[in-house]
Structure 1
């Protein structure tokens, strides 16, 4: 199972493919994890940072790897375990956020705030 997780999250997959996976599962996972992650606004801001073409590739890769781990249904601690399911995801997200925080702009935070306030999240130039 560790090989599957490694290959799915950190393997040689290119950022475009990882981005597509994150985009397709992000909002559904956010809905499930909303109560478990106290810094949800920063996670969504990081998501928008990763989608921003101006974000440096290394930063984008770090965010996408953390978000891929977050949206992957099978991980070290299954997300279905009430109370502890998202603890590993929180750890990974906090580590990634501490690395990339300087690249999350006020525009990313505004988009996150708007998205969390609305039912239909958006980003200039498409979703």
Structure 2
């Protein structure tokens, strides 16, 4: 199976589309996926992030909100695994640009959808 060109999804990203998707799938996706997406979303808004990294983030978030995936989101459990893989891949690439302020902002938003026990899974984001 050949992976899609993730940069082709950059034109699919919109802030409203992102918020709509997060709100719709938060519980099903789990705290780790949602936290990863929120960190990328807030990192994108930072003026301290290089344009190259912003391009990767836009592509990853575009893939995340696109209804066309390598593995359709409608497939239980597996449907979001490709989205998560893309988000984590890009998050690792831009991690040096993620400030503590961004992490706290993402955690604060995450608390609206997840309880304290569910929040524990974000402690080891890359595992």
Equivalent of residue 44 in structure 1, options 34, 38, 43: 38
1:28 matched to 2:20:
yes
CA RMSD of aligned residues (A): 2.4
Normalised to the residue count of structure 1, the TM-score between the two structures is 0.72
Count residues in correspondence: 109
Higher helix content, 1 or 2:
2
Structure number with greater CO (CA < 8 Å, separation at least 6) is: 2
Task: State the match for 1:10 in structure 2.
Answer: 7
Aligned 8 A contact 2:39 2:98 in 1: yes
Match of 1:76 in 2: 70
Deviations 1:87-108 (A, max 9, x none): 1111111111111111111111
Structure 2, unaligned runs of 5 or more: 114-127
The SS at the match of 2:107 is helix
List 4+ stretches of structure 1 deviating above 3 A: none
- 8 Å Cα contact 2:71-2:78 kept in structure 1: yes
Q: TM-score, normalised by structure 2?
A: 0.72
2 CA distance for matches of 1:37 and 1:51?
Answer: 23
Residue matched to 1:123: none
Match status 1:56 vs 2:50:
yes
* Offset of residue 32 of structure 1: 3.3
